Structure 1
Amino acid sequence: MTTWTPASMPDQTGKTAIVTGANSGIGLPTALELARHGAHVVVAARDPEKGGEAVARILREVPGAQVEYGRLDLADLDSVRRFAEGVDKVDLLVNNAGISMVPRRETKDGFELQFGTNHLGHFALTGLLLPLLAARPGARVVTVSSDAHSVGRIDFDNLDLERGYGRMSAYGRSKLANLLFTLELQRRATKAGIDLKSMATHPGMTATRIVKLGPFQPLLGVFLQSAEAGAVPSLYAATSPDVRGGEYFGPKAKVLEPSQAARSESTAARLWDVSSELTGVRFEKFANL
């Protein structure tokens, strides 16, 4: 297929898009291009100052853009609920924010930080916004995963990784959870008859702060692709008329095959139930499935 670029994006006028972590990394160009193409964009980020700076940059590049900041800390379920309560319409949710390969810490609610932020926070946010998404024909949920999911393993007896914590293995586990959630969300939406597409992306190795190169950090932009290139899979999944729910897109919008572990329906169903129990978010639209 011809390489897709944001210039190919259909007009997004009339649509409301929420992009988590849109203050930096690939989230910022994702939000920028959606705004450039007419969407009303909510820059959802933890830090009000950085979120405001992102809004200001988007307005500089796209004068008159419909863009606003919304405070969202995915490592705090109370913050997730407050954010969701302030939303009255959403056509597109881009679950983009994430942390990578940090020392073992816990969220405000006591979950291992990478799993709690990258997966549970987005699980809760999506569930809380599902009634609004279901009310908008053609709604989409795009969740940023990674090829690191292939090294992940879901151990339901050690979800908080109190035993055997490793930075990379914890990150891979959170990205595997992102893919399991994406595919299970599509299965449940289809079964419930909801007009919603759920897709995952792998941005590729991108020069963002989430990549840690130790003493070689200053060379980040030399060896890795730009944040703008890393945003392409998300933008393609979010807007292309050619995508199907349950697909997984990589660099240059190429369709990728999730790992065997990510395609396990039994693991996905169990992870869904456990995530619902941990977060208290029930996905009421799917209650009778």
Structure 2
Amino acid sequence: MPRHRWSFDDIPEQHGRTAVVTGANTGLGFAIADALARRGAEVVLACRNEEKAAAAAERIRAGSPGAVARTLPLDLASLASVRASARRLHDEHDHLDLLVNNAGGFRVRYSVTEDGFESTIGVNHLGPFAFTGLVLDLLTGTPGSRVVTVGSTGHRQGTIEPADLDPEPGAGYRYLYAYYRAKLANLLFAHELDHRLRATGAPTIAVAGHPGLARTDGGRDMPWVVRAALDPKLNPLVLKLTQTAAMGALGPLRAATDPHARGGDYYGPPGRAQRTGHPEPVAAIEPSHDAALRRRLWEESERLTNVRYLPLRIPKSEASS
């Protein structure tokens, strides 16, 4: 019997559910938000560029009459913005069913965030860590809720020392190493968050999914030689080795919606390279499961962001059962 290929058609009905997707104005984030909206979810596009977010929300509504798509200003390179966005989310919503931490990417040249963090680790890990912690109570009060981390095959080349998240400052900066480090941090965060959620008995799970090699504009800041090599118009081989953003979005979407998903699961294209294909359960590298490493990164992230995850809110019906 041929193996089932999980697709958009497998996404369950999402009516009555509210989903926040970061970085949803383009690429993977837009594809994720659009798919959830088409299945009936109210989607909140949390983006740095408010004009582009509004245009993306309009595209979603135009493509799915009746779809509910709203926007939320969120700049993950600014903890002040993260805190303001979390406050606004609390003002506008009394619960969340789904948070998809998708926004990320890398900086080709060395730079730091508004708070002095190396930009790639700041935008990919520290900003999402802070935002998740500040809105987690909206999720843990909601049965069946999930936090989804969008990972990358690049995490398999990553190494990390929590006490030194900026080991290559200035002229020593190598952007791919910074990106791999940040994507390993994403998986460490997802696994540690799920561990902590389980320990409290919260009705929320933490899961992850990755897009394989998807064609998005995420490499727009790369050197022109690299961009040219990755341009399918100039290099037809790219079409064979990569997949569309819509296909890449299926890994995170399965993590977000598959009713059989369990906390700690990780979904992405199958096979050794995990480049293309319909999502299946895949394995993250062993260091991402290292309990001591997870804990040290968590504690350092709390220290750097000054966001400490408060005791989790459990629904009364479940707390008393």
- 1:207 aligns to what? 215
Residue 195 (structure 1) shift:
0.9
The one of 259, 263, 287 aligned to 1:261? 287
Aligned 1:108-147 pairs, distance under 5 A: 108-147=114-153
Residue 95 (structure 1) shift:
0.2
Q: Deviations over 1:237-278 (max 9, x none)?
A: 111101111011112221111112111110000000000111
Residue 48 (structure 1) shift:
1.0
Is the Cα contact below 8 Å between 1:106 and 1:112 reproduced in 2? yes
Is the Cα contact below 8 Å between 1:104 and 1:112 reproduced in 2? yes
Amino acid in structure 1 at the alignment position of 2:55 = E
TM-score, structure 2 as length reference: 0.86
- How far apart, CA to CA, are the structure 1 residues paired with 2:187 and 2:6? 23
Instruction: Indicate the RMSD between aligned Cα atoms, in angstroms.
Output: 1.6
SS of 2:33's partner is helix
- 1:41 aligns to what? 43
Amino acid in structure 2 at the alignment position of 1:166 = R
Are 2:296 and 1:279 aligned? no
- Bigger CA drift: 157-166 or 146-155? 157-166
Residue 157 (structure 1) shift:
4.2
Is the Cα contact below 8 Å between 1:188 and 1:286 reproduced in 2? no
Aligned 1:149-188 pairs, distance under 5 A: 149-163=155-169, 164-188=172-196
- 2:316 aligns to what? none
Are 2:258 and 1:240 aligned? yes
SS of 1:219's partner is coil
- How far apart, CA to CA, are the structure 2 residues paired with 1:258 and 1:245? 14
Q: Which structure is larger by alpha-carbon Rg, 1 or 2?
A: 2
Q: Deviations over 1:54-105 (max 9, x none)?
A: 0111011001111111111011111111111111221100000111252111
The one of 74, 77, 82 aligned to 2:76? 74
- 2:205 aligns to what? 197
The one of 93, 97, 101 aligned to 1:95? 101
Residue 199 (structure 1) shift:
0.8
- 1:85 aligns to what? 87
- Bigger CA drift: 98-107 or 46-55? 98-107
Amino acid in structure 2 at the alignment position of 1:117 = V
Amino acid in structure 2 at the alignment position of 1:40 = E
Residue 155 (structure 1) shift:
2.0
Residue 222 (structure 1) shift:
3.0
Pair 189,157 (structure 1): closer, same or farther in 2 beyond 3 Å: closer
Q: Percent identity?
A: 44
- How far apart, CA to CA, are the structure 1 residues paired with 2:266 and 2:286? 13
SS of 1:140's partner is strand
Amino acid in structure 2 at the alignment position of 1:241 = P
Is the Cα contact below 8 Å between 2:168 and 2:174 reproduced in 1? no
Structure 1: tracts of 5 or more residues without a match: none
SS of 1:141's partner is strand
- 1:5 aligns to what? 7
Residue 16 (structure 1) shift:
0.4
- 2:239 aligns to what? 222
- How far apart, CA to CA, are the structure 1 residues paired with 2:62 and 2:218? 25
Q: Deviations over 1:203-247 (max 9, x none)?
A: 100101113533234327734210000100111111110111101
